[in-house]
Amino acid sequence: MSNSSRNAMLAKIRTAISNGSRGDFHEAHTNAAYLSNDDENIAVRIDLFAHRVAEYKAWVGRCKADAIAQAIGERLMIRGKKRIVIPSDLPASWLPTGIDFIRDAQLDRAEVAGMDGVLSGAALGIAQTGTIVLDGGAFQGRRMISLLPDYHLCIIRAQDIVGMVPEAFTQLETARRNPIQPYTFISGPSATSDIELNRVEGVHGPRTLDVFIVG
Amino acid sequence: MKKPESVIIALAPRFEVGAKSALQNTQLRRNMGKATQTIRAKRAAVVEELSDWESLRVAGQHIKDEVLQHLDTYLVQLEDAITQAGGHVHWAKDAHEANEIVTRLIQATGAKEIIKVKSLTTDEIRLNEALELAGITAIETDLAELIIQLAHEKSSHILVPAIHKNRSEIRALFQKSMNLPELTDEPKELAAAARQYLREKFMTVRVATSGANFAIAETGSVCVVESEGNGRMCLTMPDVLISVMGIEKILPRWQDLGVFMQLLPRSSTGERMNPYTSIWTGVHADDGPQEFHLVLLDNGRSDVLADSVGRQTLHCIRCSACINVCPVYERTGGHAYGSVYPGPIGAILTPQLVGMAHADSLPYASSLCGACYDVCPVRINIPEVLVHLRGKVVAEKQAQPKSWFDGENIGMKAMATAFGHRSTYEFAQRAGQLAQWPFVHEGYIEHGPGPLGKWTAMRDFPAIPPQSFRDWWRERQRDE
């Protein structure tokens, strides 16, 4: 059944393409000159990223590479989070003492949902839109662990922040693995605009998002 | 040729009838006015930020043009890429076939309950009703869809289906259906109630369905754009994921997302970026569903493709910017359109998908002001398509013998003759000057005779002045 539908659909589409073609209409707008990267220096870019992430009502901080563990410890203390799930490859040097970190070695969903929060790295950041991209690469883990807990502390390296959206897709394409990894773009905590079109933070994803920019 | 089943309009009255009763609902008009004005201002502010917005629109239009010009090639490329990545691709000519495929896939898992990411395409084919007949319950997980489902109502906006409801109406609904008598009308608390209500479903239901915002032909990647995290839940937690996508949603290259992920969030919710976007490619080992199906749906789209003026309708990325800016929609709300797709885009998409005969009042649900064209992120010339479709409505009417006796048709034909030549025009003008006197009141005709009466019921018709422009011009030249 499905093969005959496939062939019938493709045949109909091919006829429609030639019947409905408007010729000149297609050629007129080739190579639209939209911006594909910004010329800003890294300092301006990091500031913009921090500012834009914060506008989504996420908390943003900066720290030096040799002070990550201390920064994380202070932040988790302020938030009162004690049991934190981490990706299996997260470096031990990031982890402060006094907090219960549980490595994700195929934890089941109820265990992950029962955590106070998740601590992860990120693939890259987009300054223009205040977006964090996760691709399941280094220090990020499975999609489930950054989704079920109500709190997400995300660590992003300054050199991984790009200026604009098209740059992000170029970079992700360069870093593509085989088979292709799943991607999650995160811009602030989960939110809805479904009630009178006002943005309200906190529906199904983590309701609190903290971000450290390292470097 | 047989048209696809009329899955869009469910015995809806004509637009002018639906609009009339909507206009009398003052609560609705207040809710709609507030909501559309809020979202317009937000959109304008974030669009203003981008110096290359016009170039992005042109790029978006061009990419979509290219897709449609080579749609067969890109569909086959997408199918190959998804199959290689461990997914399955199904082809559905119409709503009936698509529903059959999805039902069969769910039945194979033995599931009696599925979770759903908000999807217009599954609304269009009325998947929930088809599943219900097969004894399968579909649980909507988007907040607004949940509101609509609990209230047993129909959507009135493609992005915010419950836009016609205000917070106190939502509170009353949740109090009753979730058994939460203490609930206040604070949006934050209402969202928390939905979080709690759906969490157990996300943790236990094994099958999910979704739509798709984009699919990339070269990689086989599928993309869902959302806000709440219900999308991430449905795309990550179940064992089986079934996505239904209109054939026109395809993009050729990965890089094209760099254009559309700027155009869509800013046009849609007026944000620089939506909170969550998920992109997956087939199945991923140890991460998310281990069985993935994509159903490619035609359901009238290839008929739209075959119309050189109407084709651009298939550029649509369902952002809803045209709906939010439309002065007609702002006043009537979405239900008057009687379609899953309301507003300007609905006025051109619906009649083309279901056939003119089923929706011939919709191309007239517009003042042709053109605001929709200005905001469209992929530059669909909606007024052009509206006029084109109006032409089709008239042509279909004129093809019927009873049109020979139709007052409007006779009048229009007489006008076409009168406007065709200078002498007949001037003669008609003079005849009109003489004949109009019983109806003129202070320079205007407020109650026209015969078929003109319908027109003047809503607006005044300026009377033909005693001296026409042509008379004045001739006189002026004589005087010189």
Chain A contact present for B263, CB below 8 A = no
Residues B174 and B183 sit within 8 Å (Cβ to Cβ) = yes
**Per-residue pLDDT tens over the stretch B91-127:** 999 999 999 999 999 999 999 999 999 999 999 999 9
Packing angle, helices B187-204 and B143-151, rounded to 10: 90
Domains of chain A: which residue ranges? 1-32, 37-214
Interface of B with A in 133-192 (CB under 8 A): 141-144, 147, 160, 162-163, 166-167, 170, 187-188, 190-192
Cβ-contact B425, B470 below 8 angstroms: no
Q: How far is A199 from chain B (nearest CA, A)?
A: 9
Q: Closest approach of chain B CAs to the CA of A24, in angstroms?
A: 11
pLDDT per position as a tens digit, B253-299: 999 999 999 999 999 999 999 999 999 999 999 999 999 999 999 99
Mutate which of B146, B156, B228, B308 to disrupt the A interface (most A C-beta within 10 Å)? B228
The answer to whether A147 contacts B232, with C-beta atoms less than 8 Å apart, is yes
Instruction: Give the mean pLDDT of chain A.
Output: 92
A204 has pLDDT over 90: yes
Please report the pLDDT score of residue B423 as a whole number. Answer: 92
> Which three-class secondary structure state does DSSP give residue B286?
coil
Q: What is the secondary structure of B21-60 as a DSSP string?
A: HHHT-HHHHHHHHHHHHHHHHHHHHHHHT-TTHHHHHHHH
Question: Residue B396 has what pLDDT?
Answer: 87
Contacting residues for A114 by C-beta, under 8 A, at least 6 apart: A83
Do the beta carbons of residue B249 and residue B213 sit within 8 Å? yes
**How far is residue B218's CA from residue B446's CA, in Å, rounded to a whole number?**
61
Percent of chain A with pLDDT over 70: 94
Higher pLDDT, residue B374 or B445: B374
* Number of other residues whose CB lies within 10 A of the CB of residue B5: 15
Best of A195, A200, A207, A211 to disrupt the B interface (most B CBs within 10 Å) is: A195
Amino acid symbol at A176? R
Predicted local confidence at residue B377, as pLDDT:
98
What pLDDT digit, counting tens, does each position of A156-169 carry? 999 999 999 999 99
Q: Which residue of B has its CA nearest to A10?
A: B72
Interface test with B, best of A133, A186, A197 (most B CBs within 10 A): A197
pTM attached to this predicted model: 0.92
Q: Report the pLDDT value the prediction gives residue B308, as an integer from 0 to 100.
A: 95
CB-based contact (8 Å) between A142 and chain B? yes
Place of tokens 């289906």: B161
Of chain A residues 30-59, which have a CB less than 8 A from chain B?
A: 30, 32-36, 52, 56
Q: Picking from A117-126, B55-64, B247-256, B424-433, which range would have the lowest pLDDT averaged per residue?
A: B424-433
The domains located in chain B, with CATH, are 5-133+206-302 (3.40.50.10420), 412-479 (no CATH)
pLDDT at B160: 85
Residue with the larger pLDDT of the pair A2 and B182: B182
**Token digits of residue B407:** 């007052």
Predicted local confidence at residue A28, as pLDDT: 46
Which tokens in the block code for residue B296? 């490619």
pLDDT averaged over every residue in chain B = 92
From chain A, the residues in CB contact with B305 under 8 A are 13, 16-17, 20
Contact of B306 with chain A, judged by CB distance below 8 Å, is answered with: yes
Least confident of B5-9, B243-247, B375-379, B473-477: B5-9
Percent over 90 (pLDDT), chain B: 68
**Predicted local distance difference test score (pLDDT) of residue A56:** 94
| pLDDT value of residue A24 | 53
> Is CATH 3.40.50.10420 the right assignment for the domain spanning A37-214?
yes
B1-45 pLDDT per residue, tens: 344 444 455 557 889 888 988 899 988 888 888 889 999 999 999
The answer to whether B228 contacts A205, with C-beta atoms less than 8 Å apart, is: yes
Reported as a single tens digit per residue, the pLDDT across B187-198 is 889 999 989 999
pLDDT tens digits for range A42-85: 999 999 999 999 999 999 999 999 999 999 999 999 999 999 99
* Chain B residues within 8 A of A9 when measuring between CB atoms: 91, 93, 247, 296, 298, 302
CA distance B131 to B125: 11
pLDDT of residue B3: 42
Confidence at residue B10, expressed as pLDDT on a 0 to 100 scale: 54
Query: What's the pLDDT at B282?
Result: 98
Residues B159 and B140: their CA atoms lie apart, in Å, by: 14
**Higher per-residue confidence, A199 vs B173:** B173
Per-residue confidence (pLDDT) for residue A2, from 0 to 100: 62
Q: Which residues pair with A59 in a beta bridge?
A: A210
Closest alpha carbon to A73 in A212, A215, A189, A213: A212
**Band of residue B369 on the pLDDT scale cut at 50, 70, 90:** very high
